[in-house]
Amino acid sequence: MDPKRSRSAPLVQPIYQSTTFVLDDESYADLLENDGLDAVWYTRVRNPTVDATGAEIARLEGADAAVMTSSGMGAISTLMLTLCRAGDRVVAARELYGDSYELFARYLPRLGVEVDFVAAAELDQWQETLERAPVRVVYAEALSNPQLVLADIPGLAALAHASGAVLAIDNTFASPRLLQPLSLGADVVVHSATKFLNGHSDVVAGVIAGSSALVKECRRSIMTFGSCLDPHAAYLVLRSLKTFGVRIDRQMASAAAIARWLEESPEVVRVIHPTLDSYAGADVARRLLPPGEGGGIVSFVVAGGDERAARLMRALELPTEATSLGGVETLISAPFNSSHYLMAAEERAAIGIEPGMLRLSVGLEEPSELLADLGRALAKTATAAARH
């Protein structure tokens, strides 16, 4: 028996489902000297269950610390509002999740923050844009949603730091199993923990991971904004992290096999996955990703446009047509009516979302069964397309 562990110590992290905690001398001292950011006295600020979950994600990301939020967008908006002031400038990848794009394109400018968008994979564009004027934050997704553009994080880090900017990376799609942005030069990482980190489609959560100083600043913002995570939700994320590596390894292996199979289908116009030789960022993938691994998402474009894509989703039996991703069950969605529905067709086209694009989040089902189902649905919708 480990002498450091008490015989009565719980094996599973308890849920501290308490709003408030006893104020003692230590708590009062922390309130007076540190804004109450270190002591456990009110769950909107700190909670033992929530803190334990953040600590585990910090370990996975190789971060000094991490703080949980009520959603992935809660993490992103909290981070940006913590870092930016009126008059600041942000340079962001144009290939972003739809609501992230809305935050950068619509809401930050209302607060006096200038935002420039550049193509994620074009380092020359990043450099040119960064050199134009001072920059506070450089922001990109490690793997973009849903185009799966792989950010050259070391290249972005060099450019950002030369400009005196903070490099923030959304690592939701890649997950720390595939990529650890902090080890590649990023300053801070955000996640929708709803996705691969939780992986069971039963929690909405987010996380900010980075240096202790920056995380403490974000914790102060959460205290005011109220974007804290509920203890029970934190407990469920922590439960899921126990199987994180096993789940992600299975999902990544299945996704790579499905991507190869889809690429051989005459009904599929284009397949996007970092393990494919046809992947546009193959050189970056070879440098940054483990051989043969590219994440658990496959994006592909079917012949026939969005109308065919919609019919294909309905023809499938195993994958469920639903938003979100990263769960143990396979989900499929079309960006035009889910993740990027707020964008006009022209805006989607400008960031590489083609008509007929589908996003497949591969779960834990048998790959052979998923392939058989995809084959049936492609054949069924092809027949229907021919009749029309």
- Which residues are catalytically annotated? 44, 97, 170, 195
By residue count, the chain amounts to 388
What is the 8-class DSSP label of residue 165?
P
Instruction: With CA atoms as reference, report the closest residue to 203 among 313, 365, 49, 45.
Output: 49
User: What gap in Å lies between CA 331 and CA 328, rounded to an integer?
Assistant: 9
Question: Omega before 134 cis (within 30°)?
Answer: no
User: What gap in Å lies between CA 175 and CA 187, rounded to an integer?
Assistant: 16
Local structure of 233: helix, strand or coil = helix
- The helix (run of H) or strand (run of E) holding residue 368 is helix 367-387
Instruction: For 180-198, give the DSSP string.
Output: -GGGGT-SEEEEETTTTTT
Cβ proximity of 90 and 116 under 8 Å: yes
For tokens 């080890």, name the residue.
183
Local structure of 122: helix, strand or coil = coil
